[in-house]
Amino acid sequence: MPHRSTIRRGALILALALATGVACAAGPSREHFHFGADLSYVNEMEDCGVVYREGGQPKDAYALFREHGTNLVRVRLWNDARWTRYSDLADVKETIRRAHAQGMQVLLDFHYSDDWADGDKQIVPKAWADISDTADLARTLYNYTYDVLMALDRSGLMPELVQVGNETNPPLLAQAPWDKHAPTDWQRNAALFNAGIRAVRDAGAKASLQPKVMLHIAQPENVAPWFAAMTAQGVTDFDLIGISYYRKWSSQTEQGLADTIRAMRKAYPQAGVMVVETAYPWTLEAADTHHNLLGKDALVDGYPATPDGQLRYLVDLTQTIIDAGGNGIVYWEPAWTTSACKTRWGRGSAWENATFFDFRHGNELLPGIGYMRHEYRWPAQATP
């Protein structure tokens, strides 16, 4: 957790930005807005026998998303996840290959862990666990990031965007789950992030394209304090600010999210701002015994857990992001539907009620995906 002084500094940035308005010269446009989908589960789901359908007919998942407006595919990468054969470099290459074949850009999400890294934990990879010196750990992170990106480039698979870490609210490369009451060593954190950023820049300088760099924080209320602390330590070379926004886990309404986007655009005019993870349930039913993560506690007044409720929520959320000057929205795991396969937590999926596929009707496409093709008000038309 940031020091109180850091939180006050972040709150001051937010207040000043809201008072003075947004300083960016140009707002978002449909041509440059990211309509994204995290498809990290698709390859695994297909191996588990999942078939995605539209109008009753089987469809290639990547082609289906592209046809419905997706222009960015997000994919996660774990260092050495021995508990699964997915989300390693070979699986990531397959995802990027399929996304690029459909003309979609790619956001590569480095977790810098052998397992899920998120807003509660950032566990150092086992192979790096004995490295206690910060400079040595930074060099290791740099070399790993650089080597992965150059390997992708040699295969013609360089991603257009790169996340240096996933939901990095806790200190990067920690030894144990985050103690929210313990102070963060911001100097150590900055050294690690700058090493990752530098690796992306150096790889891009030698590659077929130069990826943009994203830093990613979970829930809008945590964004301003974190960036205030990190920029104070010299972490300034980033192109995009990524925010996870799940109403279930956030204290902020959509208005609070909009305020944060405006504030961050003002405070860091060199960077775009995206909601890089979000989701909403279309039903409260389950297709398996695997507990669904989004239940009644994930619902927002006025948006029932129905196919139409999911669509309307996403349309309104996207318009809020556009009006605030945001650069994109990425839906998390819209294809992680139920299957015969097991996870460590149960058989099937913990997310089938928040996908874009109806498990009651053979994974028929749901209307929620239609938010990407919706006719939004763009800045020249939007009301103040």
- Summarised one tens digit per residue, pLDDT across range 117-157 is 999 999 999 999 999 999 999 999 999 999 999 999 999 99
| 81 touches 114 (CB < 8 A) | yes
Backbone angles phi, psi at 225, to 5 degrees: -60, -40
| 185 touches 233 (CB < 8 A) | no
- Tell me the mean pLDDT in the region 1-16: 41
Instruction: Reduce the DSSP state of residue 339 to 3 states and report it.
Output: coil
Alpha helices by DSSP H, 116-185 = 134-154
Catalytic residues: 167, 277
The CATH T-level fold of domain 4-17+31-373 is TIM Barrel (3.20.20)
| Helix 307-323 / helix 254-267 crossing angle, nearest 10 deg | 30
| Nearest one of 274, 273, 333, 271 to 38, comparing CA atoms | 333
Residue 13 has pLDDT above 80, yes or no: no
- Percentage above 70 pLDDT, the chain: 92
What does the mean pLDDT of the chain come to? 92
Q: Which two tokens stand for residue 72?
A: 């960015």
In the chain, where are the structural domains located? 4-17+31-373
- Measured CA to CA, the distance from residue 295 to residue 29 in angstroms comes to 34
Q: Model's pTM, two decimal places?
A: 0.92
Determine how many CB atoms are found less than 10 A away from the CB of residue 32: 12
| Nearest one of 240, 261, 328, 273 to 33, comparing CA atoms | 328
Residues in the chain: 384
Residue 17 has pLDDT above 90, yes or no: no
In tens, the pLDDT along 300-355 reads 999 999 999 999 999 999 999 999 999 999 999 999 999 999 888 889 999 999 99
Residue 381 — pLDDT band, cuts 50, 70, 90? low
